[in-house]
Amino acid sequence: MPSRLYDAHNHLQDERLTPYHEAILSDVRRQGVARMVVNGSCEDDWPNVLALARACPEVIPSFGYHPWYVKERSGDWQAALVRHLDAVPSAIGEVGLDRLIKDHDPEEQERVFVWQLRLAAERDLPVGIHCLQAWGRLLEILRAEPRPRCGFLLHSYGGPTEMIAPLAELGAYFSFPGYFAHERKTRQRETFRSVPPDRLLIETDAPDQLLPNELARFPLAAAGSGKPLNHPANLGVVYEFMAGLRSEPLERLARRVEENFQRLFGPLAAR
Ligand SMILES: [Zn+2]
């Protein structure tokens, strides 16, 4: 396994992982995970992400309102977000558009997303974007609005292959999750063959987006329910899978992902 791995997107603060934090951190360190971008998705998450960032040198914190939770936001959410961004070098995310969830209000989602995108542009911070079934609209917004000069991440990119070039032109990086190793995810895997080599990143999205059972090297189950969880140390498996998919030696892929990660998120770790 290469010595320095980078998880472009996970949710280490997720309460399902909390009982296992100590063991998880020791596993990710043994796997050689050098950095992981830990994404808060709503106001309740942000203090926990901040605490993790202060306790673990591997954690690059990211604060944002995810489209799934926009309905829950308080009147103070914008000030709270700014307070967290001011507290520690951090990215913005997870934010985005999701047309798949039930009872969503597309206009409200867009307002919240665009406000956070403008903030990222103003502060030149990398922004982690979630998008489901809204790719055309996302491209329109990214073209029309100011964007961070440092670039932005389309996490678990599942959009059309034809959109990769125009999105890359605007500054996009594309991260590949272990979830796309499932047999049925043929289209998503094919799409990733077209991602420019200097825009490719790898992610776990732990504790979600489970890998196929036979690939998961670090099995984990939620306390109480026993439901399977994705362990952040499965990152190494995702690297191996991507090396196979792109027919590239693992070490070379890992060096390139490191360069890409450092270009997008490195300034936050150095500050
Ligand atoms: Zn996520």
Ligand 1 centroid – CA 75 distance (Å): 24
Compute the mean pLDDT over every residue in the chain, rounded to the nearest whole number: 96
Ligand 1 centroid – CA 213 distance (Å): 20
Q: What angle do CA 49, 52, 203 make, to 5 degrees?
A: 70
**CA pair distance 143, 157, nearest whole angstrom:** 18
- The alpha carbon torsion through 131, 136, 138, 142 (nearest 10 deg) reads 150
Average pLDDT rounded to a whole number, residues 38-44:
97
Is pLDDT at 196 greater than 90 in this prediction?
yes
Ligand 1 centroid – CA 156 distance (Å): 8
Ligand 1 centroid – CA 10 distance (Å): 6
Ligand 1 centroid – CA 8 distance (Å): 10
Determine the straight-line distance between the first and last CA of the chain, rounded to whole angstroms.
28
Q: How confident is the model at residue 256 (pLDDT cuts 50, 70, 90)?
A: very high
Q: How confident is the model at residue 270 (pLDDT cuts 50, 70, 90)?
A: low
Is pLDDT at 71 greater than 80 in this prediction?
yes
**Contact call for residues 140 and 167 (beta carbons, < 8 A):** no
Ligand 1 centroid – CA 246 distance (Å): 24
What is the side-by-side order of every strand in the sheet holding 59-63?
Answer: 5-10, 33-40, 59-63, 91-98, 127-132, 152-155, 172-177, 200-203
Ligand 1 centroid – CA 9 distance (Å): 6
**CA pair distance 158, 98, nearest whole angstrom:** 12
Q: Looking at the DSSP assignment, which residues form a beta bridge with residue 92?
A: 63, 127
Q: How confident is the model at residue 1 (pLDDT cuts 50, 70, 90)?
A: confident
Ligand 1 centroid – CA 174 distance (Å): 13
Ligand 1 centroid – CA 3 distance (Å): 25
